Structure 1
Amino acid sequence: MTNITCQPAGDTAIRVTFHEKVSPELNRNIKSFCKKLKEQAVKGVIEWVPAYHSVIVYYHPYHISYENLRDILLNLANKDLQLDEESSTLVKIPVLYGGKIGPDIVQVAENSGLSEQNVIEKHSSVDYLIYMIGFLPGFPYLGGLPETLATPRLNNPRSHVPEGSIGIAGNQTGIYPLASPGGWNLIGKTPVQLFNPDREEPFLYRAGDRIRFVPISKRDYDKIKKQVVHNTFQIEKEVIG
């Protein structure tokens, strides 16, 4: 690959930036880079965090210098980053769209020139690629939103967005795993608990997986919510190539 740079990110981290347009191919290259970094087992490297077009690598400066690690990372990044065929997971997230829990679906419909039902159908017709997880624990930044659904952020962000809310901002869609402030257009809500630090696997998905939104009724929403409370709900997942 070409046009890759390394820069300090504080005194214990390096940002490796891949200067390319965000795309599924770039995402695969970043996954491949992270895999090779893991295989290299560089002494002093603590962890790394992938993003849309960069990876931040945290290290212990007493074990390896910035210059040495920078050279290792550039060498890895400029190798053939073709990712071996590996499976990922399709996670099916049940969603109750519209109404009081998805109040901005009206705005999305008006902006796109579609009916609310058409918005639901289009939003749930895509298997979204999880490019990265950030902002909140388990917040997935998803690629693949149909262009017609792209809607600007709210002019006045909310001080409180409920846990499980599904939102659209620009050409992105995502899920709030925890309650927080936010400026995304809320179009629905999932009763599923996306992040639970007490679970063996705190997150239901990882970067590189895909998410499919499955429309449900209010009755099903309430049923799943009770199952979640009693820890009897099983999220539907499917291994894909």
Structure 2
Amino acid sequence: MRLFPLGDAAVVLEFGHGISPAIHRAIQAVSRYLTEYPFPGLRELVPAFTTLTVYYDPWVLSENGRHQPYERVAEILHQLLPAAQAAAGEAGTDLVEIPVCYGGEFGPDLAFVAAHTGLPPGEVIARHSAPDYLVHLIGFAPGFPYLGGLDERLAAPRKAEPRALVPAGAVGIAGAQTGIYSLPTPGGWQLIGRTPRRLFSPEWARPSLLQAGQRLRFVPIDEAEFYHLQQHEH
């Protein structure tokens, strides 16, 4: 693991390179440990695919100017990391099923992905809905999940020109990743389907439906079921 400063009030813990379940488990373990046993001056933890950024109060860490804040927080983290890493376990077993209507108006780029991969559209759908994906992090927009576990055959480039507006619930592919647009936003992912489920609401006790560490499975549905579920979604 490598530590390096990010400005004067944050330190980045780099756990490795690439999208990896093992790296994800290590990041989650350290994040959970620091949440349960925060050191004085800890402000916020921001996990990503390969890093955990730790934001802190420089004045508190300096102990009234007696220490350099970054050197002090690095020392604290080096002391805590062995116990935190020892707590790393298997990925969470919490599985969330996300119904998806593929193709047509719901997945306008399904034909492109099929042509790019050389697979029939039905095979693209079957391969996309087969795995249990790991939610590595929530980012880009509130509630937007970055998922690991996409079939390598389904990798497809981003659109040359992003759409000005992608509807909430749109399921897309970009490179070797797949994800779900949680809110109406611009976006350049190849859209292959849409879910009627809401992924984010500021009115919920936990605003994001999905959390890092959960597992997710896409369940194909038809258009009639999409509209039925949409009417009952809160």
Query: TM-score if structure 1 supplies the norm length?
Result: 0.89
Helix, strand or coil for the counterpart of 1:100?
helix
Inter-partner Cα distance in structure 1 for 2:173 and 2:125:
12
Could you say what secondary structure the match of 2:60 adopts?
coil
Q: Does 1:144 find its partner at 2:141?
A: no
Q: Aligned partners of 2:205 and 2:167: how far apart in 1? A: 24
Query: Tell me, what secondary structure is at the counterpart of 1:166?
Result: strand
TM-superposed CA distance for 1:168, in Å, is: 0.1
Q: TM-score, normalised by structure 2?
A: 0.91
- Give the match for residue 66 of structure 2: none
Name the SS of the counterpart of 2:159 in structure 1.
Answer: coil
Give me the whole-angstrom Cα distance separating, in 2, the residues matched to 1:87 and 1:157: 34
**Aligned equivalent of 1:218:** 223
| 1:21 Cα offset (Å) | 3.9
Q: CA RMSD in A?
A: 1.6
% identical equivalent positions: 45
**Structure 2: gaps (5+ residues):** 62-68
**Structure with the higher fraction of residues in helix conformation:** 2
For the structure 1 residues 184 and 52, does the alpha-carbon distance in structure 2 shift closer, same or farther, using more than 3 Å as the test? same
Structure 1: gaps of 5 or more residues: 232-241
Count of residue pairs the alignment pairs up: 226
Listed as ranges, the matches of 1:1-241 within 5 Å are: 4-64=1-61, 65-77=69-81, 81-82=85-86, 83-84=88-89, 87-228=92-233, 231=234
Structure 2 residue matching 1:132: 3-state secondary structure: strand
The 3 A distance-change label for structure 1 pair 41 and 140 is: same
Residues 135, 146 of structure 2: 8 Å contact kept: yes
- Counterpart CA distance in 2 for 1:141 and 1:96 is 20
State the Cα deviation string for residues 130-154 of structure 1 (Å, max 9, x = none): 1111111111110110011010111
- Say if 1:164 and 1:177, in contact at 8 Å, map to a contact too: yes
Describe the superposition over 1:165-185 as per-residue Cα deviations: whole angstroms up to 9, x where unpaired: 000001100000011111100
* Deviation larger for 207-216 or 29-38: 29-38
The answer (yes or no) to whether the contact 1:5–1:74 under 8 Å persists in 2 is: no
| Stretch moving more, 130-139 or 5-14 | 5-14
Structure-2 separation of matches of 1:22 and 1:100: 31
